[in-house]
Amino acid sequence: MTSRERVLSALNHQQPDRVPLDLGSTSVTGIAASSLHRLREVLGLPPQTVRVHEPYQMLGFVDDDVLDALGVDVVGLGLDTTFFGFAASDWKPFTLFDGTPVLVPGLFNTEVADDGNLYQYPQGNKSFPASGRMPAGGFYHDAIERQEPYDEETLDPDEWTRDMFAVYTDEELRTLQERADALFRNTSRAIIGNFGLGAFGDIAYVPGTQIPYPKGIRSVADWYMATKLYPDYVRGIFDRQLEIALKNLPLYKEAVGDRIVAIFISGTDFGSQRGAFISPETYREMYQPYHKAINDWVHANTSWKTFYHSCGSMIDLFDDFVAAGVDIVNPVQISAEGMAPEVLKERWGDRLVFWGGGVDTQRVLPFGTPEEITEHVKRNVEVFGRGGGFVFNSVHNIQAGIPAENLAALFRAFEECR
């Protein structure tokens, strides 16, 4: 099989010739820049400075030589936008706190402050209040909450949504079309479209790191409570976001056509380490109608599969995801309560594609021995890979600080059993 055929087979719950592999196609299936630098050395590839294409999480762009060396089957399609509102372009050198040399976007702030922290600014403009902070010695940025005082009478869903979402411009659509054409012609890898505009309530968006002066509810704690305290406000935001998404989807389809096999819809987290942090009833009331509207459009008008990311224990919500028309779930956090691979495959393996779950990135990959990693990976592939419905990827992004021998063990074990 070609990579594209292999992924399509897995997405259709058919047994491919071997388990497909993803590394770096999305912002939740990638690898930290410093670990990518180390991985290149492990693979014996020529020295090449890693580009940080997603500065919020400090993810490295996985170049073709790495994809080829590992036999990666998926590549991502997207624009150059970042969480801070500046483009991932005009590269310049920077050294991470751990000493790794990288290239960062031209508007990325490289000057460490007197307090030892590194700050980023909306749209790369230092005249605006800082919206992101990488702590001294840290590996990625935390959002800085800049919520202004509000009261219930002044909460305006239009204002919140207008700052965050917009209909594609002609230039953006031309870029998507050109990139989709190039990827489809020049590689046999499957393409996933990084749409992301169906991420209702995604907490990563709430602080508005790309907005100079965000309005409305913008703190993490207040946002989670707003579902109960101000449901009409939250629904108003979701209504407007859905309206924009449903305008963008036909434009996106016209630009990329059937060149993509899957579309990244949402990165909203619903799970904690011990269980879902909202009830199924709340999900059905506040989120499911919006998810279903997006999925229904995709399934009625395209051949794409819909990709939803949610960390944590999701066993209380997967049935509702299925009812909403979700095809693919990620990152498959097997370290969370109730998320054993055997349970997931038995209960949902015929209805959901598991894109992730290949290696636990909380404990096993960073702290296990190479022997433990090997056994862990082979067991997960054996369970998830049976009968298709599985794309191998780590549980969320591979983080910084992973020992070289553990990276080697991860991909060697997968190659032996894929």
pLDDT at 271: 97
pLDDT at 411: 98
Q: Please report, for residues 128, 290, 334, the alpha-carbon distance to residue 3 in angstroms, rounded to integers and kept in the order given.
A: 45, 32, 26
pLDDT at 133: 98
**Alpha carbon distance 225, 290 (integer Å):** 20
Q: Where are the beta strands (DSSP E) in 249-388?
A: 262-266, 305-309, 328-330, 353-355
Domains of the chain: residue spans and CATH = 3-93+148-417 (3.20.20.210)
**Alpha carbon distance 146, 128 (integer Å):** 11
- Which of 375, 354, 372 lies closest to 363, judged by CA? 372
Per-residue pLDDT tens digits for 209-264: 999 999 999 999 999 999 999 999 999 999 999 999 999 999 999 999 999 999 99
Strand partners, 51: 103
Q: Is 396 left (phi over 0), alpha (psi -120 to 50) or beta?
A: left
Judged by DSSP in three states, 247 sits in helix
What count of other Cβ atoms lies within 10 Å of the Cβ of residue 299?
Answer: 14
**Alpha carbon distance 352, 390 (integer Å):** 9
**Alpha carbon distance 22, 12 (integer Å):** 17
**Alpha carbon distance 238, 206 (integer Å):** 13
**Alpha carbon distance 29, 399 (integer Å):** 11
**Alpha carbon distance 204, 55 (integer Å):** 13
**Alpha carbon distance 229, 220 (integer Å):** 14
Q: What strands lie across the sheet with 328-330, from one edge to the other?
A: 74-77, 190-194, 262-266, 305-309, 328-330, 353-355, 390-391
- pTM, 2 dp: 0.97
Burial of 59-71, coded b for 16+ CB within 10 Å and e otherwise, reads bbbbeeebbeebb
pLDDT at 112: 98
pLDDT at 355: 99
> Positive or negative CA dihedral for 137, 132, 224, 286?
negative
Q: Which two tokens stand for residue 276?
A: 């879902």
For residues 36 and 50, the answer to whether their CB atoms sit within 8 Å is: yes
Residues of the chain with pLDDT below 70 are none
In sequence order, which residues have a C-beta less than 8 Å from that of residue 50 and are 6 or more positions away? 33, 36, 37, 40, 60, 61, 100, 102, 103
What count of other Cβ atoms lies within 10 Å of the Cβ of residue 12?
Answer: 14
- Which of 147, 157, 167 lies closest to 237, judged by CA? 157
What count of other Cβ atoms lies within 10 Å of the Cβ of residue 167?
Answer: 13
